[in-house]
Structure 1
Amino acid sequence: MTAVLLVEDDASLQRFVQLVCEDLALTLVCVDHVDAALQRLRAQSFELILSDLMLPQRHGLELLELLMQDPSLRAGARLAVFSAGLTPQVRSRLEALGITHLLSKPCGVKELQACLLGTTDTSTEPTVAEASTHQFAIDQHFGGNRSLYERFRASCVRQFPLDAQALREALAQCQATELRQRAHSLKSVVNSLGHPELGAYFRALEDGACAMPPDWQGLARIWAEAEPALLALR
């Protein structure tokens, strides 16, 4: 059975990839930072290594550069990146490292499946003029797979109260790094669920947390508008 190593600190996205891997009968191992990935690679070989870039402690690019420098550690695995920060400059750097797939967050099921299977996704973007929010997300991001969408959405809804509590604490304690990481994660999740208007709030929180210094009062006002909408999602 094909083994995939996912290096991703976002639990919701870990669940998303896990569900797709289950549908494809693939074995998935998840770790949430670079050092844990290196430890697993020293103990086990994988057919695919799929890594986020913005990770705690060490950047994902460090892992990819180490794998290129040490072929024995990579052991012939394909390399892929799963990130919301794929600027033209980043893409050029990744292509120079031999990355086979570049997945922008949020990505659709068909695109992720193509990456996991090592094939090319030739599907076109669906046009949905009058569909409901749920159906649009199913078609746009889940390849029409309603069951996968519903399972992922249910797992996210269970997680949202915990995310909201973490965001409240980050704002109360002026923890910019925690706020940025949590907002970055939620931005991708709600966009993939078909709520770009809510995703814009988390994008604003993420950007605001990167300011020097952050406008904590302004960020609290943004969160006051976003929190009820997040917790109302079902």
Structure 2
Amino acid sequence: MDEPVVLLVEDDALVSRFVGMVLDDLPIRLQVCSSVEQALQFLAEQRVQLVITDLMMPGESGMGLIQRMTADRALAADAKVVVFSAGLNTKVREQLASMNIWRTLAKPASVGDLQGCVRDALQLAGQKAPTSPPSEPAAPAAPGLAEHEALAVATHFAHNRPLFETYRERCFVQFPRDCAEGDQAAAVADLAVLRRLAHNLRTVLLTLGRTEGHQVATRLEEAACAEDAPAAVAGWKALREHLAP
């Protein structure tokens, strides 16, 4: 029997990486698309059993993808749709209530949240989450950071320190690329790019237990949404300090 296909529509490479790591032990085939355009092309060629989509992405939004799938049922057939977003406020939830959504999942999600959602959607309830191997806590990189990381390991990684450390290493590979993109955007006050970076990074930083960085990213996103260019540029300069190892 073929493994069920799960389509993840997510533009942030680090969020996609986290989801891929978490779902690696499940008997599924995960396909990642970084835009609605890519997702539509994949859906036209491949039947899927579950679609997990972000809402805020470059180009067409995840909301647009959901509307397309609702209008053309042949796109996703009987696939369940999960909205996976950091922007699930009251207004968005009210809008989603009238759509064909199976479940919403707030970012950052834990290992248990993600695995449980996929198991429920694909009726894999008998599968067990992998047991977390014991490990020694890592040395703190700054005062207080070890405690925040320990809480993140417990909250988001099911006490699996090696999984957390593997993900953290991947983040430190990606962060210089984010810094380069943000620096270019700040130089020309491109608020759309700064908003997207802040939106994505606040989830990643909270997943890593970097709560202060998460708060800085949240304020940057708010400034960009308010079209306050000076505050957004200053916010980016503050945020990039939290992207160092």
Please report the TM-score for the alignment, with normalisation by the length of structure 2: 0.84
Structure 1 residues 221 and 66, CA gap change in structure 2 (3 angstroms): closer
- Aligned residues of 1:190 and 1:198 also touching (Cα < 8 A): yes
Instruction: Pick the aligned partner of 1:104 from 97, 103, 106.
Output: 106
Deviations 1:99-155 (A, max 9, x none): 12211111111111111212699xxxxxxxxx7222210111122222321221110
- Aligned residues of 2:148 and 2:211 also touching (Cα < 8 A): no
Amino acid at match of 1:182: L
Amino acid at match of 1:223: W
Which residue is 1:22 aligned to?
24
- Aligned residues of 1:21 and 1:27 also touching (Cα < 8 A): no
- Aligned residues of 1:180 and 1:210 also touching (Cα < 8 A): yes
Amino acid at match of 1:184: H
Unaligned 5+ residue runs, structure 2? Answer: 126-145
**Pairing 1:135–2:150 present:** yes
Q: How far apart are the structure 2 equivalents of 1:168 and 1:199? A: 18
SS in 2 for 1:148: helix
Q: How far apart are the structure 2 equivalents of 1:26 and 1:135? A: 30
- Aligned residues of 2:83 and 2:105 also touching (Cα < 8 A): yes
Deviations 1:159-196 (A, max 9, x none): 11111121111101211111111111111100111112
SS in 2 for 1:71: coil
**Pairing 1:174–2:189 present:** yes
Query: CA shift at 1:215, angstroms?
Result: 3.0
Q: How far apart are the structure 1 equivalents of 2:153 and 2:63? A: 31
Structure 1 residues 150 and 26, CA gap change in structure 2 (3 angstroms): farther
Identity %: 37
Which residue is 2:163 aligned to?
148
SS in 1 for 2:74: helix
SS in 2 for 1:134: helix
Q: How far apart are the structure 2 equivalents of 1:229 and 1:89? A: 30
Q: How far apart are the structure 2 equivalents of 1:164 and 1:200? A: 17
Which residue is 2:64 aligned to?
62
Amino acid at match of 1:200: Q
Q: How far apart are the structure 2 equivalents of 1:5 and 1:164? A: 28
Unaligned 5+ residue runs, structure 1? Answer: 122-130
- Aligned residues of 1:50 and 1:81 also touching (Cα < 8 A): yes
**Pairing 1:74–2:76 present:** yes
SS in 1 for 2:104: strand
Please report the TM-score for the alignment, with normalisation by the length of structure 1: 0.88
Query: CA shift at 1:63, angstroms?
Result: 1.0
Structure 1 residues 219 and 56, CA gap change in structure 2 (3 angstroms): closer
